[in-house]
Structure 1
Amino acid sequence: MRSAYRVETVRAAEAELMARLPGGALMQRAAAGLAAACAGLLGRVSGARVVLLVGSGDNGGDALYAGARLARRGAGVSAVLLGSRAHQGGLAALTTAGGRVADDPFAVVPRADLVLDGITGIGGRGGLRPEAAAVARAARSSQAVVVAVDLPSGVDADTGRVAGEAVRADATVTFGTYKPGLLIDPAREYAGALRLVDIGLALPPVPDVEALQHADVARLLPVPAAESDKYRRGVVGVVAGSARYPGAAVLAVAGALRGGAGAVRYVGPAGEAVLAHYPETLVHGGPPGKAGRVQAWVIGPGLGDTPGVEEVLDSDVPVLVDADGLRPLDPAAVRARSAPTVLTPHAGEAAALLGVAREEVEAARLDAVRELAGRYGATVLLKGSTTLVAAPDADVPVRANPTGTPWLATAGSGDVLSGLAGSLLAAGLRPRDAASVAAYLHGLAARRASRSAPIAAHDVASALPGAWRDVTG
């Protein structure tokens, strides 16, 4: 599990640790890890050209001390001072080791093999100032590997917002713990590959944001026992599709059949299309209340104006609401339910539910998913370049999904995800686990199916068993 903590928590942990260490020891720990990471990226340190972009804060000091270590190993290190002041101890260490201060950043940055971004720290807000932004652009357009110190300068550590120009790094070396912005777009795409350096912080047991990994997902996946039958494994009901969109029903059922439940019960007008693709499906014309017992419902994909949302919400089992099912959704009705509810909007649907512009949701995804979960009293899976899962309890960490590929932005992929998550609900997973495990497997399946080529939604569904085996194997 990757855990991320807000700036306030990180600073408190740093202060507690610094009180027990000799002066400057914590910065030296960070600089040692940073220098080792840079050396690994360079391959050959001796003779390499390294440029440090140095601001006024501690990240600038980390960069200077790391630069001194690289200079002692034979690198040619130049520091570009972009703040009102530089860390004096770090600057002295650099010059003593043979490094220098560059008068003209545009004379050294284009020729660098590695550029180290220490312009701002984790407390920075807003975009880069014009001078720093110009240097950052020069670094990005060069052939250098750009490495961010703790966090790319110009992004918000707590929220993932990018309000203005920011450094686009190839890699980020972060200290002590991940920060939420490193796991959440739009900031995540500025961070590149992540490397965590342990500096000995004692952090609270509950983070603000977390990201599952293979081992976490494997522990959560349902496994049938010897005495299991299809009903004991769970039955998921799918209310989806319409005369206009029968394919949505087929894709939602495809995801559900591969999600761990023992049976899938389809209700709706696309029964013939569903049976043509998946004859093992239990099909009923409706209404949902007369279709038979289920352990969870999925409603909404391709539903159009077909009724059924209110009836499904009145049931006493977990319900996942997606797509067209979100349009008539009443927060009071959702909050009044005795069983859990999962909502799976994309950014546009989330914006409509919140009454804001889509751009506002996309710029502040973490705030949006938390607000939706609290307002509806539901678990919310906010789809997008970073899929986020938030529980209705604000004290529970938001989960950021680390898998996926831009090729997932294809018609019907969300229908597969809904069916998969609903099946995991019916198999007994708790709502937050079902949603985050589904997002993880869905993204992994898309990677398997795509391999950097275009895919269709049915390719994702077909790749789910392989993704499941990847996780458990």
Structure 2
Amino acid sequence: MRRAHTVDQVRAAEAALMATLPEGTLMQRAAAGLAYAVIDFLGGAYGRRVCLLVGSGDNGGDALYAGALLARRGSSVEAWLLSERAHPAGVAALRAAGGRVTTPDSRGHNRRFDVVVDGIVGIGGKPGLRDQAAAAVGALAGVPVVAVDTPSGVDVDTGETPGAHVTADLTVTFGTHKICHLADPAAAACGAVQLVDIGLAPYLPASPVESLQAADVAALLPRPARDAQKYARGVVGLRVGSATYPGAALLSVAGADTGLVGMVRYVGSAADTVRQHHPEVVGPGRVQAWVVGSGGGEHAGEELAAALGDAVPLVVDADALAHVIGPLPVPAVLTPHAGELAGMLRADRAEIEARPLEFARAAAREYAAVVLLKGRRTVIARPDGTARVNTTGTPWLATAGAGDVLGGLVGALLAAGLDPYDAASVGAWLHGAAATYAAQDGPLVASEVARAIPAVIRGLPGR
């Protein structure tokens, strides 16, 4: 599990750890991890040209001590001090190692350096950059950036980017991930994220935001018992599609019909088409979970009411979301994209895209349900505010019908016995991983995502 903690949680853990260590040990650990990450990023140290952007916080100290190590390894290191309160011992260490310390130059130097190390603002800084810092970043446009802990200017605890900020190619963080490493739009500014162990783990509390990894999915995924029979493995029902959108029915059924449950039932106007493509799918009967809404059109509200009559968990997608006016009487997963959530929360779509974690949590509270907010980094939120961010997927997954496949897949996991939070989280992970598997870094269509799911499951650790 990749766990992300808040600034306050990290600071409390650092204080507890520092009480057990000689003064300065924690910064030296971070600086060494940062320096070696920069060396790996550059493919070596000798002869490399490094620019440090140094603010007044501990991140600036980390950058200066890392710069001193790089200078001792043969790098040409120049520090641009953006504050008169830059870490004095770090400045002295860099100078002693042969590094150069200067003030920012607003002229472009993008051909002079091989890498910029962003140590402008620490995790406690306010979002946005001051004018001097923004000018320094602009003067170095085009040079690869390694951020210290987090890209300067992002909101660490929310993943938002309300002002000017650094966009990094690599972010080297210490002790634990922070929420901005997982949640968009800040996560997009982090580039690749490398975690350096500085001994913080024993002092960290439970994290409010996390991200499933392959081993977590393998552990959560339902497995058939040795004496399993089809009804015991779960039966999922789908009330999706319409005369106008029969393809939505096919794609939602394809997401459900991947072998994760013992039976798939379909109720709707596209029954003949569904049976032609999925002969193992059967008609009405008892189910352990329903999927409603995908391509449902004007009848989506009726299908939602019918599904609620069975008093089983359900996935509410697409057209049916407009008919959810408050908490539902059964465990539910709501799967909106930003536009649909805007209607549900009477909010602006652009605001939701700028603050997806906040709005997913707000919707989960308002509707007393698990909310799966689709996006580049899909957010799965519970009413208590805990959340998971899905990190699998590919830009090629932004294709018509992909959400229909996801709804069917999550419904199957519900029917197989997962609770709504785990079903939504595992479903999002498998959906993104299947897209990556099917795309092979090229284009794909939604039906290919569904077909790739069994192969992804077979490749999970321990399967």
- TM-score of the superposition, structure 2-length normalised? 0.96
> Are 2:82 and 2:103, in contact at CA under 8 Å, matched by a contact in 1?
no
Native 8 Å contact 1:78 1:108 kept in 2: no
Aligned residues: 458
Match of 1:302 in 2: 295
2-structure distance, mates of 1:257, 1:411? 19
Report if aligned partners of 1:139, 1:146 keep a CA contact under 8 Å in 2: no
Partner of 2:45: 45
1:301-329 C-alpha deviation (Å, 9 max, x unpaired): 00001122122123321111000010011
2:193 and 2:161 map into 1 onto residues whose CA distance is 18
Equivalent position amino acid for 1:362 in 2: E
**Superposition misfits of 4+ residues, deviation over 6 angstroms:** none
- Conserved 8 A contact 2:246-2:270: yes
Asked if 1:451 corresponds to 2:440, the answer is yes
How far off is 1:259 after superposition? 5.5
The answer to whether 1:23 aligns with 2:14 is no
1:131 counterpart = 2:132? yes
SS in 1 for 2:168: coil
1:253 corresponds in structure 2 to: 253
Q: Secondary structure at the match of 2:297?
A: coil
In the aligned structure 2, how far is the partner of 1:99 from the partner of 1:11? 30
1:72 is aligned to 72
Measure, in 2, the Cα distance between the counterparts of 1:400 and 1:222.
21
C-alpha spacing 1:203/1:357, structure 2 compared with 1 (3 Å): farther
Q: Partner residue of 1:466? A: 455
Question: What TM-score do the two structures reach when normalised by structure 1?
Answer: 0.94
1:316 aligns with 2:317: no
- 1:402 pairs, out of 385, 388, 391, with 391
Deviation at 1:110, TM superposition (A): 3.3
1:93-112 pair list within 5 angstroms: 93-105=93-105, 106=107, 108-112=109-113
Q: Which amino acid aligns with 1:373?
A: A
**d(CA) in 2 for partners of 1:405, 1:388:** 16
Go from structure 1 to structure 2 and tell me whether the alpha carbon gap of 1:259 and 1:134 turns closer, same or farther (over 3 Å shift).
Answer: farther
**8 Å Cα contact 2:397-2:435 kept in structure 1:** yes
Give the structure 2 partner of residue 352 of structure 1: 343
8 A Cα contact 2:10 2:204, kept in partner: no
Q: Is the 8 A contact 1:302 1:323 kept in 2?
A: yes
Corresponding residue of 2:364: 373
Identify the residue that residue 293 of structure 1 maps to in structure 2. 286
Q: Report the AA paired with residue 54 of structure 1.
A: V
Q: Counterpart of 1:392?
A: 383
Question: Where do 1:113-152 residues align within 5 Å?
Answer: 113-142=114-143, 145-152=144-151
- Using the alignment, how far apart are the partners of 1:118 and 1:3 within structure 2? 23
| Unpaired segments ≥5 residues, structure 1 | 284-290
Aligned-pair CA distance for 1:107: 6.0
Equivalents in 2 of 1:198, 1:212: separation in Å?
19
Cα deviations by residue, 1:354-389 (Å, 9 ceiling, x for unpaired): 111011111111111111111111111111011011
Instruction: Return the offset for 1:103.
Output: 4.3
Partner of 1:194: 193
Identity %: 57
Q: What secondary structure, in the 3-state scheme, does the structure 2 residue paired with 1:134 have? A: helix
**Distance of 2:37 and 2:178 partners within structure 1:** 18
CA contact (8 A) 1:344 1:418 kept: yes
* CA distance in structure 1 between the partners assigned to 2:416 and 2:229 by the alignment: 12
Match of 2:222? Answer: 222
Q: Which residue of 354, 363, 366 maps to 1:363? A: 354
Q: Which runs of 5+ in 2 are unaligned?
A: none
Deviations 1:387-431 (A, max 9, x none): 01112223xx31111101111111100000000000011011111
1:9·1:203 contact (CA, 8 Å) conserved in 2? no
Q: Decide whether the 8 Å contact of 1:405 with 1:447 is kept in 2.
A: yes
Which segment drifts farther, 26-35 or 463-472?
A: 463-472
Of stretches 220-229 and 106-115 in structure 1, the one that deviates more from structure 2 is: 106-115
User: Closer, same or farther in 2 for the Cα pair 1:267/1:203, shift >3 Å?
Assistant: farther
Question: C-alpha distance in 1, partners of 2:204/2:61?
Answer: 27
- 2:153 and 2:26 mapped to 1: Cα distance? 24
Residues 170-209 of structure 1 show CA distances to partners (whole Å, capped at 9, x for unaligned) of 1100011000111011111111111111111233441011
| Alpha-carbon separation, structure 2, partners of 1:273 and 1:134 | 60
**C-alpha distance in 2, partners of 1:213/1:34?**
24
Per-residue CA shift, 1:440-469, capped at 9, x if unaligned?
010011111112222111111111111112
State the secondary structure of the residue aligned to 1:232: coil
